[in-house]
Amino acid sequence: MSKFTLTYFNSRGRAEISRLLFAVADVKYEDKRIEKSEWREWIKASTPFGVVPNLTFDDGTSISMSGAIANYLAREFTNFEQNNGGQGYLVGKSMTLADIAFFNAFSNITLVEPTALDNLPLLKDLMVRVGANEKIAKWVETRPKTQF
């Protein structure tokens, strides 16, 4: 059994930043995708605050709310919150939660408007740099195909 189970709908949505963090940290987890009918029937009553995404630990404790989960994972893995002087990424010399959140948001935006970053070459380069990360590229290639 995985140390972590991330429960969310069968879409990228609010759970995708956490999935990207797992991918980049190379940490195995259960990606539990639910249908809306399951949500209404029993999962909503069993989650803190009645919301997803929900991150459950192997001891049964859990965290809800996408921001809280992403912040926890960023602190837990590979020093995603270090600021190393602002070279190459939004906050430092190495990838941070901010870069992953930016990549996630603009990946969705550029699906609808492919030229959204054309007049912003530094941000466009950042998208390429984050997307070229071997672990992120592998996750994006192999994740379930969903609209968002």
Q: Among all chains, which residue has been given the structure tokens 């404790």?
A: 61
The CA distance from 114 to 102, in Å, is 15
∠ Cα 84 140 51 (to 5°): 85
Measured in residues, the chain has a length of: 148
Q: Are 116 and 109 in contact (CB under 8 A)?
A: yes
- pTM attached to this predicted model: 0.70
The amino acid at 112? V
Kindly give the confidence (pLDDT) of every residue in the chain, 148 residues in length, as a single tens digit, with 9 standing for 90 and above. 569 999 999 999 999 999 999 999 999 999 999 998 888 777 778 887 888 999 999 998 999 989 889 989 988 887 654 444 435 788 877 899 999 999 999 998 888 888 888 887 888 888 999 999 999 999 999 999 987 7
To the question of domain 4-142 being in CATH 1.20.1050.130, the answer is: yes
The CA distance from 91 to 38, in Å, is 39
